[in-house]
Amino acid sequence: MDFAARLRAATWDDHSSAERDTFLTELTKGRLSLRAHAAHTAQHYFLYEALERAAAVYSSGFHTPALNRVDALKADLRYLIGPRWREEISPNEATNEYLARLKEIAFTWHAGFVAHHYLRYLGDLSGGQFVAQALARAYGLQLGGDGLRFYSFDRIGDLIAFKEDYRNQLNSAGWDAVEQDRVIDEVRLAYRLNASVLAELGREHRNPFTADVVAQIMRHMNDDHAADSLLICRVLGGVPDATAARMSGMDAEGIEFVADVSGTTQQIRIPFSQRLTERAQVRAEVTRLYHEARGHGS
């Protein structure tokens, strides 16, 4: 068995566990708010910024500029959060632990860098493509467009051929058996660090409202209160030139809209005055937002 196949087999259980992560499952099924997707994207930004700084240290063929994700992540965060996105994000505790490990080994141990590189970039080129498709369906985003640029590898022609070449590089890296075992252990550690990041995101973004409840509220708002939504977005969402607005989601801490502004669409999030726990609170809170917007707009 060549090393690439051995690595895949040795880490398969870790890979399978990652695919069953509750946060990712809820996110890709549209059961969380777009804010949760933004938070996930923000944690990616810190990790890939560190990895791509480490990549600059080495001249190995594992990394190519076509893989770079930082600019795409910046564009996604600008769309999802706004122009001051950098001031509004920070690594969570689990991401800080992940970053500490990268700082410890990725800049000085090439094979260790490759272990983390393999997990992240080959994952993005494989399962990450299915995640992108699910997110596009769940949140009305365009594949390769705003909010999902991270998952688009336009500068890599044939993804399957690229991944095969990557595996061939793993096989020809020249690592002895001891070093190969160290790489396997580091990939497994990377899976655990990533799982911790997702678990923390899951704790931060629990939604007490089921997908069915959110869909019912959205249908009611969009069918019966489109003018109210537009007023809320114009006054409280900071888009006075909006010509239309549609509710696109909600969670316990806020309501989300997509607004038409000057020929483009903008994601708008309006925070609630308190964390909601019951459906009955939603109507009262949205009514409060409407009266607040009406008062400011008059």
User: What integer pLDDT is reported at residue 19 of this predicted model?
Assistant: 67
Domains, in order of start, for the chain: 3-204 (1.20.910.10), 211-297 (3.20.180.10)
**74 pLDDT higher than 70:** yes
Mean pLDDT of 180-199: 96
Secondary structure string (H, E, C) spanning 25-74: HHHHCCCCCHHHHHHHHHHHHHHHHHHHHHHCCCCCCCCCHHHCCHHHHH
Confidence band (pLDDT; 50, 70, 90) for 138? confident
What pTM does this model have? 0.77
244-272: pLDDT as tens digits? 999 998 888 889 999 999 999 988 989 99
Instruction: Specify the length of the chain in residues.
Output: 298
Confidence band (pLDDT; 50, 70, 90) for 196? very high
